[in-house]
């Protein structure tokens, strides 16, 4: 009588392992995508807070109480070797895509503008007394589920519909304020 030497796995054993991995993946993937969306939304809120702080610093130290109307203006350093008012990842263009969101800064139409240039050579006509910034998901539902808006007063608002139509930096655009 011959004894068989069993080495390796049978096809049934391999199929069971593949099925178990498939079940675990089906359970884990939605949670991972939700965590990614939450991280993107947290990054968008952080970007709007950074813009608010940068605008305050820009207005008080560089532009005589007026605000920038572009992220590029905040990303321009005031003098050679000096630090810009906002980090390079936000100050490279307007709008800028960051962490699944499109972040945009704009001046309020019709707001009074400065006639004097700022310390970083932004033309006086490009400075404004009111501003607003938006953060909209690049792919709503996939990269983020909420839209964000912040204005001159610094309160960040969120809603599941776009807030980018709110062009008055002082008016409440709708949505709920972030606590």
pLDDT in tens, 58-71: 999 988 899 999 99
- What are 176's two structure tokens? 């709920």
Q: How far apart are CA 75 and CA 133, in angstroms?
A: 15
Contact between residue 178 and residue 150 where contact means Cβ atoms under 8 Å apart:
no
The domains of the chain are located at 11-177
Provide φ and ψ at 155, rounded to 5°: -85, 130
Q: How much is the pLDDT for 41?
A: 96
Mention every residue, 6+ apart, whose C-beta is less than 8 A from residue 107. 67, 68, 69, 113, 126, 127, 128, 130, 131, 169
List alpha helices for 7-151, DSSP H.
11-61, 71-75
What proportion of the chain, given as a percentage, has pLDDT over 70? 94
What proportion of the chain, given as a percentage, has pLDDT over 90? 61
Residue burial 144-177, b: 16+ Cβ < 10 Å; e: rest: bebbbbbbbeeebbbeeeebbebbebeeebebee
Band (114; pLDDT cuts 50, 70, 90): confident
User: Minimal CA–CA distance to 78: which of 118, 21, 130?
Assistant: 118
Band (169; pLDDT cuts 50, 70, 90): confident
* 118 or 45, greater pLDDT: 45
How is residue 152 annotated by DSSP? Answer: T
* Total residue length of the chain: 179
Residue 96 has pLDDT above 90, yes or no: yes
Pick the range with the lowest mean pLDDT from 32-36, 111-115, 163-167. Answer: 163-167
Residue 4 has pLDDT above 70, yes or no: no
- What are 59's two structure tokens? 């207005």
Q: How much is the pLDDT for 123?
A: 85
């Amino acid at each position: 009588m011959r004894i068989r030497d069993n080495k390796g796995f049978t096809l049934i054993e391999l199929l069971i392992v593949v099925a178990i991995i498939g079940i675990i993946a089906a359970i884990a993937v939605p949670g991972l995508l939700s965590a990614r969306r939450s991280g993107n939304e947290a990054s968008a809120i952080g970007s709007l807070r950074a813009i608010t702080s940068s605008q305050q610093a820009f207005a008080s130290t560089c532009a005589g109480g007026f605000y920038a109307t572009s992220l590029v203006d905040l990303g321009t350093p005031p003098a050679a070797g000096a630090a810009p008012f906002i980090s390079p990842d936000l100050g490279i263009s307007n709008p800028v895509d960051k962490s699944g969101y499109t972040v945009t800064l704009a001046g309020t139409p019709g707001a009074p503008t400065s006639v004097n240039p700022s310390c970083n050579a932004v033309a006086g006509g490009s400075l404004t007394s009111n501003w607003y910034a938006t953060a909209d998901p690049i792919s709503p539902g996939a990269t983020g589920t909420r839209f964000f808006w912040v204005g001159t007063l610094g309160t960040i608002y969120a809603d599941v519909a776009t807030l980018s139509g709110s062009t008055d930096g002082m008016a409440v655009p709708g949505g709920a304020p972030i606590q």
